[in-house]
Amino acid sequence: MAEFTMELNDDQKQVRDWIHGFAADVMRPAAAEWDEREETPWPVIQEAAKVGIYSLDFYAQQFFDPTGLGIPMAMEELFWGDAGIALSIVGTGLAAIGVVANGTEEQIGTWIPQMYGTPDDVKVAAFCSSEPDAGSDVGSMRTRAVYDQTKDEWVLNGTKTWATNGGIANVHIVVAVVDPALGTKGHASFIIPPNTPGLSQGQKFKKHGIRASHTAEVVLEDVRIPGSCLLGGKEKLDERLARAHERARSGGGERVKNAAMATFEASRPAVGAMAVGTARAAYEVALDYAKTRTQFGRPIIDNQGVAFQLADMRTQIDAARLLVWRASWMAVAGRPFESAEGSMSKLFASEVAKKVTAQAVQILGGNGFTREYPVERMHRDSAIYTIFEGTSEIQRLVIARTISGMPIR
């Protein structure tokens, strides 16, 4: 296992520069247009597929990087390009992580390729967990999955919300309640194959930021899927439920991770890297602007009020990146998050992105408030990082419970 390092090796630098080039040459020129259109940038996704960035092989290579830095490095560069387009490119990854984290080898081999499609016929996937009444409170989830033993089928009913690629995805991964008596321990994840009857897109959301990324409700009405579409298989689920019931009867307090939480834990440092990318992009625009914009006969960076802001921005970005890299290395090295280091990285990087992009707007003044300059879009985009995949408040709750061992509410 590789030791923790703050220096990328030559191969990683080559990959980083390749992704950076795509972000600079393809994503950035298209960013403003797709933000205004509020539509999925299929041509950009296809370009990413043609060069190999939108592919199973690319993400597998980064995921299995022995240093753990492949994914955060890639996320930072893509989201440096543009957060909305980048989320359209990487959104399928959350569904893929759900399958890898909870599925069998056969399920991984069967379904993940269908999530991406081919360069000539690109597809996307969606991970569906949140509901209108169950966001941070996953215990309030109402979507039900009932097993029909006579047909070896699962029947799903409910409504999911805030689903990236929801309704337009080729494959949907849906978290549902299979045993209401067990609360969050009674959840399981299911694969909804393409063109399954009963699945439809509900409301498509018009958002404050990341507007090039499709976000919508997913409605499930008597959706029938084969028994083989239960992630991990029924035998494994039955064993897990039996253990949970036994612990409940005996008053045992052992914590059991459900499928959705396992997915989020694996992805939180990656979200932190996305936030670092957006923050870095805004900082670079502000730095260049401060060095060239003159007021009272000199560049505005000559003023401590501006220069000190930029110094703080850079310091916070670097600190956020280090937290993300530490958590990513710990995950690949099998080190337990004894102080919730994954949540720490996501929390800090998300808050830094909001603060840095706001400072960038302030440094650009009136220009920063217009859509003629990208920091306005970056500031809007940054708001999502403190909300999705666990709000900042939830991250603090996770950290507090972990470091204290207390059931803080």
Angle at 219 between CA 224 and CA 267, to 5 degrees: 95
Name residue 173's amino acid. I
Q: What are the φ and ψ backbone dihedral angles of 173, each rounded to 5 degrees?
A: -105, 120
Maximum Cα–Cα distance across the chain: 82
Out of 239, 341, 389, 393, the active site residue is 389
- What distance in Å separates the CA atoms of residue 260 and residue 136, rounded to the nearest whole number? 12
Pair of tokens at residue 231: 């992630």
153 given a catalytic annotation: no
- What distance in Å separates the CA atoms of residue 306 and residue 344, rounded to the nearest whole number? 29
If one counts every other C-beta atom within 10 angstroms of the C-beta of residue 183, the result is 16
Pair of tokens at residue 323: 């937290």
Instruction: Characterise 200 by phi-psi region: left (phi > 0), alpha (psi -120 to 50), beta (else).
Output: beta
Q: Which residues are catalytic?
A: 389
